[in-house]
Amino acid sequence: MPDLFAVPPIAPVSALNSRQRFAACLAGQPVDRPALWMMRQAGRFLPEYRAVRQQHTFLEMVHTPELALEVTLQPLRRFGMDAAILFSDILTIPEALGMNVDFPEGGPQLSPVIRTAADVARLPSGDCVEKLDYVGQALKLIRAELPHNYVLGFSGAPFTLASYMVEGKGTRTFEGIKTLMYQHPQVFHALMDKLTDSVIAYLKMQLDAGADAVQLFDSWAGELRAEEYVEHVLPSTQRIIQAVHAHGGKLLLFARHTGHLLDASLRSGANGLGLDSRIDLASAAAKAKAVGMAVQGNLDPIELFAPPAHIHARVREMAAATKGCGWIANLGHGVIPSTPIAGVEALVSAVHGLATNSQGGSLHS
């Protein structure tokens, strides 16, 4: 892991732009105030997003760089978020690997499902990046529009992608992927290895296109016991993170329902850990700091429905819990479509309110 906490500040903290602020938070350096973005900030809770969505299918928006640019910029225009995250989907890799991916009501559908050694062997090996050129194009547009904001790319992590590819859809039981792991571990690992290669190539391409860092979404990793995660998933995560670092990039790791995986995640080498709302922020931030990691999170997205005073109090609580640690303010999961704009405005105002008035000092770090 890079010794991020040893690097001196890149600018006087009183003069940080959003890009510098985010980088400093991720590196555990002093800042004027914490950087802020929200998972799924480019999405259905915004009227301006829904206006675009009315004219285009979800997949058209993902596949068309100019449309992806537009909705990526929307939350920054409205709320002044410090980071932009590429508008895309975690299922771009299965699609680039030749699966049919569709998004009817009720969640994604993938076909034909992957179940056997032959199914895995048929997948094109590793590098599917040429088919994902539209993502690189979108990131180049975003980078050009936002020289002073932090730009995040992202990918689904191999276990999460494998879950979708084996189940063919979202699942509450994970019967298919776990059964494959228990009954045919060599097939499971062949699939994980191919996906790890693809994710690495994809993330390198995103960094080349201008992303400052990438977030790895291992949405379903929390379904595994810690021993299973360490044996079957963590090695691929570590391999991805090493490759991103070797390519000069930084990586944020996020998964839901992962309090039981915190200790394992601290061994991943990630620059920052996205925390689920249920994880105790103070103890996680202290543990992360001890291994040179920042934390990101972890307001419950439903707390954006609470009165503004509640949101302000929780933001102050989170700031106190992460005092002296690298912290990027965010939610503990994606913002949901029915979220009131006023709740997000309260979050923004609360985080901005953490700024100190003194010269170059910082309430937070």
Q: Catalytic residues, which ones?
A: 40, 44, 53, 89, 164
Give just the sign of the alpha carbon dihedral 237, 273, 176, 132: negative
Give the nearest distance from C-beta 172 to a copy of itself in angstroms. Answer: 9
Give the nearest distance from C-beta 173 to a copy of itself in angstroms. Answer: 5
H or E element in which residue 205 lies = helix 185-208
List, as one string, the DSSP characters of 152-171: EEEEE-HHHHHHHHHHSB--
Instruction: Tell me the three state secondary structure of residue 258.
Output: coil
Q: Which residues lie near a copy of itself (CB under 8 A)?
A: 173-175, 178-179, 182-183, 222-226, 257, 259-260, 277-280, 300-303, 305-307, 310, 336, 338
* 352, 318 Cβ separation under 8 angstroms: no
* 159, 233 Cβ separation under 8 angstroms: yes
Give the nearest distance from C-beta 347 to a copy of itself in angstroms. Answer: 14
CA separation for the pair 91, 351 (Å, rounded):
32
Give the nearest distance from C-beta 339 to a copy of itself in angstroms. Answer: 9
Question: Which residue, 216, 214, 299, is CA-closest to 254?
Answer: 216
Nearer to a copy of itself by C-beta: 89 or 276? 276
Dihedral through CA 321, CA 323, CA 326, CA 328, nearest 10? 60
Give just the sign of the alpha carbon dihedral 24, 29, 35, 38: positive
